[in-house]
Structure 1
Amino acid sequence: MRVIVWLVEGTWPACVDAVRTHAPGASDVVLLHVSGPEVADVAHGAFAGLLGRGHPRGHTPAGSWGSDPGDRLTDLGGTSAAELMDAAAARLGGPCARMERTGRVEREVVAAAEGADLLVLARDGDRAGLGPHSLGPAARFVVDHAPCPVLLVWPEAAPGLATLPPPPPHHH
């Protein structure tokens, strides 16, 4: 049984625990972390903007400016992803593979789930009440497009049934 576990900062422990509880016999567990390119892209763009202003044509002061901060942010992101993967593997306590992807997060998760028997993810929206708002845009996309069964977990205890919205008025 191939289980993909989508690890997100802050909610990953619930996903790892769900594998231990609901798929204890899984022979192939893959810890998945996806880095969106947005933060590093912004820094790359800002750095390129600095290079483009007030310098004679053909003169590139890369040496005087140092390295592109987008590269540093990409490296920092990789470090935290590796630490998150290490912590998740330790919590899982069994054999697992690691998969790191970069791109549009929700699309990378769906692509990574191709051929899987189960995809485990956590709610990423408003977790104060039951209902559709407990899914943010990324998790909603993944749930709607996953090519395999999905186990959707609450990162903490689920809200009580009292948080259910009232039923719509009944019209005759």
Structure 2
Amino acid sequence: MPVVVWIVEGTWPACVDAALTQVPGDADIVLLHVTPADVPGAAHGAFAGLLGRGHPERDPGTRMEHLAATSARQLLQAAADRLGRPCTLTERTGRVEHEVVTAAQHADLLILARDGDHTHLGPHSLGRAGRFVVDHAPCPVLLVWPEPAPGLTSLPSPPPDPH
């Protein structure tokens, strides 16, 4: 049973805890982190366009790529330590939501945390990336709250009765 656990800074502990409680001990777990490619790409472009191409060693985009890779490795290691059982650590770079969906193409389960408004129940508890992944995942999805879910009092009022 391959299971992909999407590791995102700030919400990853809830995803790892869900894997610990909901996934059989013999499952193949993949901890996945995706670094967005757009920020280093913008830095590369700004450097090339504004500062010239004479000194590629000064390109801030390269430094950003190295920092992002280091951060991803540290985050994945922290998640693996919390999981405390064998797993595969996977780093990807690209358009985050597309990379997550692609990584889940052969999975039996994808675990992710809500990435939107955590103060209310409902569709706004999913951000743009989370909504895309939930809508396009090629496998079942376990969607978890990164902290205790808000109470039922956060539900919107029903529409007025037209009669």
- Tell me how far apart the structure 1 counterparts of residues 140 and 123 of structure 2 sit (CA, whole Å): 19
Runs of 4+ in 1 over 6 A off after TM superposition: none
SS of the residue corresponding to residue 155 of structure 1 reads coil
Aligned residues of 1:34 and 1:105 also touching (Cα < 8 A): yes
- Tell me how far apart the structure 1 counterparts of residues 11 and 153 of structure 2 sit (CA, whole Å): 24
- Tell me how far apart the structure 2 counterparts of residues 168 and 107 of structure 1 sit (CA, whole Å): 36
Aligned to 1:117: 108
Aligned length: 163
The structure 2 residue matched to 1:61, chosen from 54, 57, 77, is 54
User: TM-score of the superposition, structure 2-length normalised?
Assistant: 0.95
How well do the aligned residues superpose, as a CA RMSD in angstroms?
A: 1.3
Instruction: Kindly state the Cα deviation for residue 26 of structure 1 after the two structures are TM-superposed.
Output: 4.4
Looking at CA atoms only, which structure, 1 or 2, has the larger radius of gyration?
1
95 and 169 in structure 1: CA distance in 2 versus 1, 3 angstrom threshold: same
SS of the residue corresponding to residue 98 of structure 1 reads strand
- Tell me how far apart the structure 2 counterparts of residues 141 and 153 of structure 1 sit (CA, whole Å): 16
SS of the residue corresponding to residue 133 of structure 1 reads helix
Aligned residues of 1:2 and 1:26 also touching (Cα < 8 A): no
Structure 2 counterpart of 1:31, which letter? Answer: L
SS of the residue corresponding to residue 47 of structure 1 reads helix
- Tell me how far apart the structure 2 counterparts of residues 45 and 120 of structure 1 sit (CA, whole Å): 35
SS of the residue corresponding to residue 114 of structure 1 reads coil
- Tell me how far apart the structure 1 counterparts of residues 27 and 116 of structure 2 sit (CA, whole Å): 31
Q: Does 1:41 align with 2:41?
A: yes
User: TM-score of the superposition, structure 1-length normalised?
Assistant: 0.90
- Tell me how far apart the structure 2 counterparts of residues 156 and 49 of structure 1 sit (CA, whole Å): 43
Deviations 1:20-42 (A, max 9, x none): 01114342000001111111011
SS of the residue corresponding to residue 141 of structure 1 reads helix
Instruction: Kindly state the Cα deviation for residue 154 of structure 1 after the two structures are TM-superposed.
Output: 0.3
Structure 1 counterpart of 2:46, which letter? Answer: A
Identity of aligned residues (%): 67
Aligned to 1:133: 124
Instruction: Kindly state the Cα deviation for residue 115 of structure 1 after the two structures are TM-superposed.
Output: 1.3
Any stretches of 5+ residues in structure 2 without a counterpart? none
